[in-house]
A = this chain, B = another copy of it.
Amino acid sequence: MTADSKAYDPPESANSVGYTVAENLRIATAEDPLVLDSGGKLGPVDVEYETYGKLSPNKDNAVLICHALSGDAHVAGWEKDPETTGRLWRKRKPGWWDPVIGPGKAIDTDKYFVICANNLGSCYGTTSPSSLNPATGKEYGLAFPAVTIHDWVVMQSRLLRHLGIDCLHAVIGGSLGGQQALEWALCCPQCVRKSIVLAASSRLSAQGLAFNAVGRTAIMNDPNFNNGDYYHTTPPRDGLAAARMLAHITYLSDEAMHEKFGRRLRNKVKPDFGFDIEFEVESYLDYQGRSFVERFDANSYLYITRAMDYYDAAEKWGGGDLVAACSRIQSEVMVVSFSSDWLYPPQECMELALAISRNSKPVNYINVPSHYGHDAFLVETEAVGRLMQSFLKST
Contact = CB atoms under 8 A, between A and B. Distances in A.
Interface of A: 37-38, 40, 142, 145-146, 203-207, 209-211, 213-214, 216-218, 220-223, 238-239, 241-242, 245-246, 249, 252, 254, 257-258, 260-263, 271, 273-275, 278-279, 281-282, 285-286, 289, 302, 306, 309-310, 312, 342, 345
Among all A-B residue pairs, the 6 with the closest Cβ atoms: A146-B273, A206-B257, A38-B273, A221-B238, A213-B282, A207-B254
A260 B238 CA distance: 32
B285 A210 contact: yes
A218 B216 contact: no
A37 B207 CA distance: 37
B242 A218 contact: yes
A209 B281 contact: yes
B245 A217 contact: yes
A115 to B, nearest CB: 28
Nearest to A146: B273
Given A206-B258, A206-B262, A210-B282, 11 more contacts: A146-B273, A205-B258, A207-B254, A207-B257, A213-B282, A217-B245, A218-B242, A221-B222, A221-B239, A254-B342, A279-B309
Given A207-B249, A263-B203, A309-B278, A214 B285 contact: yes
A235 B262 CA distance: 34
Contacts of A310: 271, 273
A246 B214 contact: yes
A215 B250 CA distance: 15
Contacts of A220: 275
Given A214-B285, A217-B242, A263 B145 contact: no
User: Secondary structure at chain A's binding surface: helix, strand, loop or mixed?
Assistant: helix
A77 to B, nearest CB: 34
A254 B205 contact: yes
Contacts of A345: 254
18 contacts: A142-B275, A146-B273, A146-B274, A203-B263, A205-B258, A206-B263, A206-B279, A206-B281, A207-B252, A209-B282, A210-B257, A214-B245, A214-B249, A214-B285, A217-B241, A217-B245, A221-B239, A271-B310
Contact of A213 (B245, B254, B274, B312): B245
A322 to B, nearest CB: 13
A314 to B, nearest CB: 10
A279 B217 contact: no
A306 B275 contact: yes
Contact of A211 (B37, B218, B221, B249): B249
B273 A205 contact: no
Contacts of A257: 205-207, 210
Contact of A221 (B37, B204, B218): B218
Nearest to A246: B214
Contacts of A210: 245, 249, 257, 281-282, 285
A31 B211 CA distance: 48
Contacts of A38: 273
Interface centre among A209, A275, A281, A310 (most CB of B within 10 A): A275
